[in-house]
Structure 1
Amino acid sequence: MRIVITGANGLIGRSFIARFAGQHELVALSRSAQSNFAPVGWHQFDDSPESLQAIFSGAEGILHLAATRPHAIRTAIQQSQVLKNEQLDEQVFAAAHRAGVKNVVYLSSRTVYGNAPTPWSEATQVAPKAAYAEQKLAAEALALKLNKSAAMRIKVIRLAQVLAAEEFEGGLIRTFFDNALTGRPLNVTVEGMQREYIYIEDVVSALMQALCSPQQHGIFNLGSASQVSILELAQWLAQAVQKPELVKLQQPLKRVDENSLMDSSKFYNTFNWHPRYTVQTAIEDAIARRLPGNRGQDGEL
């Protein structure tokens, strides 16, 4: 299967390529010059619609991951970056249509639900709280319009927070993994937060399953269907490195009422897929992949 991946140099793109290179014909697409995509094909996107259409021509599926993430957006440039995201989504969908590629998987976000009561289903009234989430909703609306008017088969994936040791530097997950592996304290400063995470290995598996269902289309939640607290994350990481003493509660804990949980049964049933990992087994696997001489559950470093 020939699959073009936009945003191939991001966390999910790199993980997808590492998992499926050699099994499918993967074409990596990035805005910046790269040399680390072997053994897949690579193209640098030059912002022209003609360039995108030429790259998409002959593809059997497009995995559209490219976007400027919230952690990379600074207040002064937020609106311009969000506008660039929106313009890129429009370009990708239009180029796919012109190239005759109907099978597109588009990565949206759980943030479109804002603070709506959980669990969130695809029918839950969205309540975006930031420009990034509003832009994702605009792209979702365009995808649904093209599915109806142009017989496209765009699958919009509202993704839960990704659990990965390689998360962006400075993020909670990355900091916890780095500290656990180097014997530094896992400082827990808040209580009340309950988040849904999905392991990066499950994410790329699910995205491939969606790509392998070219006739499906619509909006789908994708998560692990479970919540964990920050304290549980710290405890499981400490257990995984056999150093429970690393967990440190910084009293008094700050109360932060945050709750995220999606109903992902539509995705599970439509694509005959379920998560392989719980958050705890995901942490164990991620630690195993980082320790010298150890391998994860898939037998890969």
Structure 2
Amino acid sequence: MRVLVTGGAGFIGHNVAIYLAHRGFDVTVYDTLERSSEDAVKRLRDAGIPIYRRDVREWHDLRGYDVVVHCAAYVDVAESFARPKEYFENNVIGTASIAKAASDAGAFFIYISSASVYGNPVKIPISEDHFLKPISPYGASKAMGEQVVELYSSIYGLKYVILRLFNVYGPGQNPAYAGVISRFIESAINRTPPRIYGDGSQTRDFIYVEDVARAIELSIVKQPHNQIFNIGSGKHISILELARLIMRLANIEGEPVFDEPRPGDIKHSCANIEKARKILGFEPQTTLEEGIKKLLYTYKRLKT
């Protein structure tokens, strides 16, 4: 089965591409390579995956591909406040372009969305039928991308799955756009206390990137048409507890330092993953502590 991964040199994209290639899929990567790391590109090439410099905002002939996994996106919530126009252009227009090309080619379309579409939820854990009320340009751009995909299904017959990813972490994150776990681990490796924005009471649901890749593989194999799934661990932890966990595992003494809250940061987040369990057979395999230990080992090895 031929699979195209857009944004395939990004953090999630390159991990997904390599995972799928190892699972026997014929994988190709499209990426502008503007924000990719040299390590991600090297890992893709070492895996024998062809990489093409492509911009998803342009039309592409995708005939020959069975599945398109659309990971390409600008993903920094804080940056989206300073550069909203670029986020809407890349994340909405890019999705509109590549989804239409996938529809024209008869390819199954997997749209990688985000829990940011929910904004501040009224109920925890969050199920897929929770209303969407994003509080950042990034979250709004992902919600609009979902609307484009659903519209194309109704007017062009696009077959799709939307995966709303919660807080993804793992090896290969670009330091400039890294999530909170990578930032905390970077601090721990440098023997400095992690910096928390806000009071640390905010909670997040963290999912290891290989578990995300497994959810995408299940979506490819089962192809449940026109469905939306939350992909998370189904568990949540406060940012303060997370900081202390990483400090303990890295043998760092003291307490985290605190800074002003950042715009666009939601208060609480936790996925209800029962639908993904029931329909996809999805079950997270990596616990948070196991994943952090893997990352600590990876970061220490890169530093030596």
TM-score (norm 2): 0.83
Q: Is the alpha carbon distance of 1:65 and 1:286 closer, same or farther for their aligned partners in structure 2, counting shifts above 3 Å?
A: same
Partner of residue 216, structure 1: 225
Residue 161 (structure 1) aligned to one of 140, 143, 167: 167
Partner of 1:48: 58
Q: 1:244 deviation in Å?
A: 4.6
Aligned-pair RMSD on alpha carbons?
A: 2.7
Q: How does 1:1-301 map to 2 (within 5 A)?
A: 1-22=1-22, 23-32=24-33, 36=42, 37-38=44-45, 39-45=48-54, 47-49=57-59, 52-53=60-61, 56-71=62-77, 73=79, 75-101=81-107, 103-117=108-122, 118-164=124-170, 166-169=172-175, 171-187=179-195, 190-241=199-250, 243-245=251-253, 247-250=254-257, 258-292=267-301
Return the alpha-carbon distance in structure 1 between the equivalents of residues 196 and 75 of structure 2.
25
Q: Deviations over 1:86-143 (max 9, x none)?
A: 1111111110111121x11101111111112122111111111122222222221222
Amino acid at match of 2:29: A
The number of aligned residues is 285
Q: Which structure has the highest strand share of the two?
A: 1
Deviation at 1:175, TM superposition (A): 2.2
Query: Which stretch shifts more, 78-87 or 165-174?
Result: 165-174
Residue 152 of structure 1 deviates from its aligned partner by 2.4
Give 3-state SS (helix, strand or coil) of 2:267's partner: strand
**Cα distance change on mapping 1:66 and 1:110 into 2, 3 Å:** same
Contact 2:5 2:70 in 1 (8 A): yes
TM-score by length of 1: 0.84
Tell me how far 1:249 sits from its aligned partner.
4.2
User: Which segments of 5 or more consecutive residues in structure 2 lack a partner in the other structure?
Assistant: none
Question: CA offsets, 1:214-267, max 9 Å, x none?
Answer: 2433211111111111232223223333x152x41448998x981111211111
Aligned partners of 2:189, 2:11: CA distance in 1, in Å? 20
How much does 1:168 deviate?
4.1
Q: Distance in 2 between matches of 1:213 and 1:251?
A: 45
Q: Percent identity?
A: 23
2:244/2:255 contact within 8 Å kept: no
Deviation at 1:144, TM superposition (A): 1.9
| Structure 1: 5+ residue stretches without partners | 294-301
Rg larger in structure: 1
